[in-house]
Structure 1
Amino acid sequence: MQELAKQALISMISHIIFIIITWQIIQSVRLDPIFKKMRTFEAKLLIIFVTIAIGTTVSNFFLDLLNWTNQITYLF
């Protein structure tokens, strides 16, 4: 049970860290010309959703990689 709680905590922290990293990267890209004027709310909401999607996907990749490296010990 304690291992499950530890894994959940690592997953939450990983997701938050990668979402923050993705947010910083997306903020450095100039996206203003893509969106229509007077649609700033929708543009910000889209950027937030894209940030969460990319950050979560990257986090899942690294969490899977971590789990696979732990499971490879069962090979031998």
Structure 2
Amino acid sequence: MGLGSTGLINIFLSLIFISISWWAIQCFRLDLFVKDYKSAQVKALQILLSIALGHGVARFFMDYLGWSMMLKQLFMS
């Protein structure tokens, strides 16, 4: 797999998992923990949390994909 296609897959996975994280964070009742739930600061916090969580999950899948690609080296002489 070339560097270009690997980069494209990494970008795609990151965007997908950030979107899924944003969707999942919407079910949390943040109004219990913040003063003004409708403020821009809370939305910024939600965005930053979804980026951090989505990036972590995407990084796991990217690492897993890389490791599974390395497994074929076990069977090559």
TM-score (norm 2): 0.89
Between 1 and 2, higher relative CO (CA 8 Å, sep ≥ 6) is seen in 1
Q: Does 1:75 align with 2:74?
A: yes
Q: Does 1:49 align with 2:77?
A: no
Q: How far 1:3 sits from its partner (Å)?
A: 0.8
Aligned residue for 2:24?
25
Return the alpha-carbon distance in structure 1 between the equivalents of residues 40 and 49 of structure 2. Answer: 14
**Deviation string for 1:5-38 (max 9, x for gaps)?**
1001000000000000001100011111211127
TM-score (norm 1): 0.90
Structure 1, unaligned stretches of length 5 or more? none
The structure whose residues are more often helix, as a share, is 1
**Deviation string for 1:15-71 (max 9, x for gaps)?**
000000001100011111211127711111111001000000100000100000010
Structure 2, unaligned stretches of length 5 or more? none
How many equivalent residue pairs? 75
